[in-house]
Amino acid sequence: MKDLGKAKVCIGLEIERDRTAKTLSLTQTKYASKVLERFGMSTCNPSLTPLEQGHTTTISTENDSETNAPYREAVGSLMYLMVGTRPDLAYGIGKLSQHSANPCESHWAGVKRVMRYVQGTRNLGIVFDNKSKSPELFGFSDADWAGCSDSRKSTSGYVFKFCGGAIS
């Protein structure tokens, strides 16, 4: 065995520890940049939100034009980013991934909107702080009421935070 020093990168997660501020931050800046470059969005204008307010995704009909864009690959790449360090992408990616079997141009526009959001926030990640002497675990949950206009099913979500950072 050999001591390689402090961990800086582990399975694509960039680790930064600040002992004076008692924080640990996890980011995926390099991966986010690679995803944007792979799908031709590295020079796009940033967006302030992943999806437009009140954005609804509907099932493609025969009149919609199907897209030849790499929809599944883009959603999967963004999903890896979401699972690793970007829980703020969860709602948008969850809604867009429902249409992986039959995406249309409006769904591809939604994926591009999420990528524009990632362009403006690629340095964001999860920050854990240990400023208090007793770390606390917090949980939050919410659901919409029959939010899907096609099936009238509800969408629920939750977040659990430990030391200020989302863990689930």
Query: Is residue 152 within 8 Å of 144, Cβ to Cβ?
Result: no
Main-chain phi, psi angles of 23, to 5 degrees: -130, 155
Q: What is the pLDDT of residue 130?
A: 81
Strand partners, 158: 141
Q: Which two tokens stand for residue 59?
A: 């099932």
Q: What is the pLDDT of residue 62?
A: 47
Q: What is the pLDDT of residue 54?
A: 64
Q: Which of 33, 27, 23, 32 is nearest to 10 (CA)?
A: 27
Task: For residues 11-40, give the mean pLDDT.
Answer: 94
Q: Which residue has the higher pLDDT, 53 or 144?
A: 144
Q: Which residue has the higher pLDDT, 55 or 20?
A: 20
Query: Is residue 67 within 8 Å of 109, Cβ to Cβ?
Result: no
Q: Which of 50-54, 83-87, 93-97, 115-119 has the lowest mean pLDDT?
A: 50-54
Q: Cα(155)–Cα(148) distance, rounded to whole angstroms?
A: 8
pTM listed for this prediction: 0.85
Q: Cα(137)–Cα(166) distance, rounded to whole angstroms?
A: 10
Q: Residues of the chain with pLDDT > 70: what percent?
A: 90
**56-112 pLDDT per residue, tens:** 666 655 445 566 889 999 999 999 999 999 999 998 999 899 889 889 998 999 999
Q: What is the pLDDT of residue 53?
A: 73
